Structure 1
């Protein structure tokens, strides 16, 4: 990749190991890449940044590898702007054209686990769950471009000791109304014989048993919806009841914590000394009733994850769990877990329909189901709109825009762009479109499109490093826009350079199709 070559040139000639940025400038007059290395070194060395930039440029020009540049300039307080020459651009394009799929990026060959959705089995998935669902799936696919062995996991909070499951049990037994919906009523009706028998058996934990009975049915429906309608397949479905509680993980982790002198008893409950390891306060892990808290279950689950050999764990939580991060990282520190653990927070989703803004509220019973949203806008539009914003920012889902079949709708725009490329290739009279022996591209619109194609390496590398999946969607949109300008300004069919230009169309389509598949959006041949 060209960016890697420039980065290595800068490091080598700066003779310093320091972090700096090498970015694509927003304006073409600032070149193809801009580095802030001189500014970073100026702070460290207490020297003039422009003078450092001048020295660096002089050294770089003395390298044989510098023949890829048309020119190198200093801008502003000391930015170094690199302008690539046409030959270097075409040579890099030639290399890219030989790749059948997206490039593989080198990383440690270890297991990485991504846990997402993990909805409580007390009801159907709502619009808030959609964001983490599509993001988790897209991030998983992006990280599969590396040497990591990526595994997707869904955790089911279905312990019979769980307060939520017991509340659900009360509703099943007609002693409460928590989580009651028309769908839940239907599920209870289907299980009325089993519920009746359960009442007659009178088990010790009747509410927990009744809740678990219906939770299994809810989870079956949710799993079917996730796999069939959302198109997400998990490697592991981990049950809190079967995989943790019944296998004695709660007691096992409690004993470990006690043996390390991390637990004390106060007012009949067991408390964990999380405040000593970065948390705001100590936390209850066993209630006065003897029941384990959600936090103890969470600790046991993470302990079990590490037992399974994961060296890197990524978890995607909803905004309502944001406050739980500190306590979990406190446990990681207290138990000296040797695992790279990252928690990403999915922020709030609101729905815009016309001029009306709807914010979901579970407390008020104002829940918008994900299945209803998908039925209205379709899976492709839903995926795109959920993924186009950074996960850590509030997002507004514009339903009317998502339904439009026009350029204003970004997913329609990029899919139409792909269909247009396919149409051009179908109309070609050149037969098999193979690469020419040499490239003779000279028009500005041609070079601009090739440069945009080459950016795919940088975009994917950045998304792998910082998990900002939305930058891929921004790139897809920009690629289609630059192609539209190319096709507007350059004659492709029946031109003297038809074969060469058709090959450029073919390569653009290949990159676009691969990226759409990566984020789970269809790449239609006709529209």
Structure 2
């Protein structure tokens, strides 16, 4: 697909903007145009003129540009100095034809040009069942990966199995105590919950031999429990509709010598030093204001940081990904600068590693918030959430919220079958479109009478659909996946308003044909949105 309209406008304005910074915006309502730019405000500072005068000068140049007039009907200047662009109706009609002819390939972009991205998300410690927090990361990461692919990137969705370290040792000890019917007190820093007892019962049922030696017994229990938790994670993730391309084990980095290799390199470059029996990495050399961090503990175990450094090198150097994007929980915010410092120390370019943080999820049930703690065994499981609300509602609700904000997941609202429930309202729009087509058996969509479309509701829909490629292009750069859910909901809202005020079947033949084409285009865009979000497009509700 050629450049999106937004990018074409940006390129044309850049040629006349004297290098100043500016934005291409989507106005809040159709009366203000389809696109808008604030370039005049930046130019006014350089040219020492009013923003309106700068906007008038820019408009004069743009009005003469034949590339722009191919798809822009008119350009207006707002009283404040914004330059507003209005799309030609001929372009809107052609865009609808493209949607209908291209179906799910509409808005396929080439922004990524095949750039290889390793997108790692969820990656929960295998010390307990996946929770709603993991479900949020999974829904977001999966949708972002889908959008990357739509935008022309080569994406590997990856789950990093943290099967090394103190926490999995504690898991093994927790299971061993359950096997021996020993109480786990609060001070033991061990794991609680029914899943620990369930694992112990499986060990008994399979007659697995447990050594008498306590540490050896912990290892046996740990290995069994980790395998159980990984399989449980695979099952839960699959139930959410997420398919990872790679499940990568942290232990493989240790077994292959990649962790020790990084440690030896840091020592050889004087980037690690020994203090208080541990080895420290000189984080402060790369990130100002950051304290140095332990990479090998006093007991000889590698820290999480050293493992993450080796993992990042594995992605970018050994496997050759152009970029590594990690999606972590907000509780890891302090680890981000340390890992970035580690990547720089290993010669990995700063723009090759990005870390996105997702905020907490609070579950509301019956008007009250549910408190959660994995270690105490008090949490809302991903599987339980799916049992309560289903895959579609779970994913849609998560994808309606900015990843950087805390969210309340209202179970009661997600179960409601009304327009108050956003996923129900959006999916009902698609089902409603299909009910229209059902009334005309053997229908073939025709696009030769689109000029019959002229109502305000029709053009509001046409304009909204025309901006879909821009939306995907923006998300592929900003990672603001929640804009996709909001777009789908707005499209559904516009369609419902159109349906309630405009008759589709039963009008004169030409107008009926045009409106059927419009409904077909709306359905195609909704189906693409739902596919990217990982939810179904039901034909009946």
TM-score, normalization: structure 1? 0.94
Task: Tell me: CA distance 1:199–1:483, structure 2 relative to 1, closer, same or farther (3 Å).
Answer: same
CA drift of 1:45 comes to 4.1
Task: Identify the residue that residue 522 of structure 1 maps to in structure 2.
Answer: 536
The superposition leaves residues 407-434 of structure 1 with CA deviations (integer Å, 9 ceiling, x where unpaired) of 1101011111111100011113673223
Task: Identify the residue that residue 109 of structure 2 maps to in structure 1.
Answer: 105
In 2, distance between residues paired with 1:97 and 1:19? Answer: 37
Residue 430 of structure 1 contacts residue 499 of structure 1 at CA under 8 Å; is this kept in 2?
no
Residue 158 of structure 1 contacts residue 212 of structure 1 at CA under 8 Å; is this kept in 2?
no
In 1, distance between residues paired with 2:467 and 2:323? Answer: 28
In 2, distance between residues paired with 1:291 and 1:315? Answer: 24
Which blocks of at least 5 consecutive residues in structure 1 are unaligned? none
Choose which of 369, 377, 383 in structure 2 pairs with 1:371: 383
Residue 407 of structure 1 contacts residue 413 of structure 1 at CA under 8 Å; is this kept in 2?
yes
Which blocks of at least 5 consecutive residues in structure 2 are unaligned? 185-189
In 2, distance between residues paired with 1:49 and 1:418? Answer: 44
Task: Identify the residue that residue 157 of structure 1 maps to in structure 2.
Answer: 162
Superposed counterparts of 1:481-496, under 5 Å: 481-496=493-508
Task: Identify the residue that residue 244 of structure 1 maps to in structure 2.
Answer: 253
In 1, distance between residues paired with 2:442 and 2:126? Answer: 57
In 2, distance between residues paired with 1:310 and 1:2? Answer: 30
CA drift of 1:381 comes to 0.6
Residue 151 of structure 2 contacts residue 472 of structure 2 at CA under 8 Å; is this kept in 1?
no
Residue 96 of structure 2 contacts residue 521 of structure 2 at CA under 8 Å; is this kept in 1?
no
Moved more, 49-58 or 428-437: 428-437
Choose which of 401, 414, 439 in structure 2 pairs with 1:427: 439
In 2, distance between residues paired with 1:220 and 1:362? Answer: 18
Choose which of 363, 375, 378 in structure 2 pairs with 1:351: 363
Task: Tell me: CA distance 1:288–1:216, structure 2 relative to 1, closer, same or farther (3 Å).
Answer: same
Residue 349 of structure 1 contacts residue 359 of structure 1 at CA under 8 Å; is this kept in 2?
no
Task: Identify the residue that residue 407 of structure 1 maps to in structure 2.
Answer: 419
Choose which of 153, 171, 176 in structure 2 pairs with 1:148: 153
CA drift of 1:210 comes to 3.1
In 2, distance between residues paired with 1:490 and 1:193? Answer: 65
In 2, distance between residues paired with 1:332 and 1:176? Answer: 43
Residue 134 of structure 1 contacts residue 387 of structure 1 at CA under 8 Å; is this kept in 2?
yes
The superposition leaves residues 258-314 of structure 1 with CA deviations (integer Å, 9 ceiling, x where unpaired) of 111101111111111111111620111111111111221111211212211111111
In 1, distance between residues paired with 2:236 and 2:420? Answer: 30
In 1, distance between residues paired with 2:20 and 2:136? Answer: 36
CA drift of 1:115 comes to 0.4
Matched, 1:300 2:302: no
Task: Identify the residue that residue 508 of structure 1 maps to in structure 2.
Answer: 522
Matched, 1:13 2:16: yes
Superposed counterparts of 1:206-221, under 5 Å: 206-221=217-232
The superposition leaves residues 380-416 of structure 1 with CA deviations (integer Å, 9 ceiling, x where unpaired) of 1111111100000010001110000011101011111
Runs of 4+ in 1 over 4 A off after TM superposition: 193-196, 202-206
Choose which of 94, 110, 121 in structure 2 pairs with 1:116: 121
Could you say what secondary structure the match of 1:434 adopts?
coil
Moved more, 260-269 or 352-361: 352-361
CA drift of 1:90 comes to 2.2
Task: Tell me: CA distance 1:298–1:4, structure 2 relative to 1, closer, same or farther (3 Å).
Answer: closer
Task: Identify the residue that residue 311 of structure 1 maps to in structure 2.
Answer: 322
CA drift of 1:97 comes to 3.2
CA RMSD of aligned residues (A): 2.1
Matched, 1:65 2:64: no
Residue 175 of structure 2 contacts residue 221 of structure 2 at CA under 8 Å; is this kept in 1?
yes
Residue 272 of structure 1 contacts residue 282 of structure 1 at CA under 8 Å; is this kept in 2?
yes
In 2, distance between residues paired with 1:188 and 1:471? Answer: 45
In 1, distance between residues paired with 2:206 and 2:91? Answer: 72
In 2, distance between residues paired with 1:415 and 1:55? Answer: 46
In 1, distance between residues paired with 2:174 and 2:97? Answer: 65
Equivalenced residues, count: 521
Residue 100 of structure 2 contacts residue 524 of structure 2 at CA under 8 Å; is this kept in 1?
no
Could you say what secondary structure the match of 2:290 adopts?
coil
CA drift of 1:206 comes to 5.0
Task: Identify the residue that residue 134 of structure 2 maps to in structure 1.
Answer: 129
Residue 151 of structure 2 contacts residue 473 of structure 2 at CA under 8 Å; is this kept in 1?
no
Matched, 1:387 2:399: yes
Could you say what secondary structure the match of 2:158 adopts?
strand
In 2, distance between residues paired with 1:332 and 1:398? Answer: 40
In 1, distance between residues paired with 2:449 and 2:31? Answer: 32
Larger relative contact order (Cα-Cα within 8 Å, sequence gap ≥ 6):
2
Task: Tell me: CA distance 1:438–1:414, structure 2 relative to 1, closer, same or farther (3 Å).
Answer: closer
In 2, distance between residues paired with 1:504 and 1:191? Answer: 60
CA drift of 1:473 comes to 0.7
CA drift of 1:449 comes to 1.4
TM-score, normalization: structure 2? 0.91
CA drift of 1:199 comes to 0.8
CA drift of 1:18 comes to 4.0
Could you say what secondary structure the match of 2:334 adopts?
helix
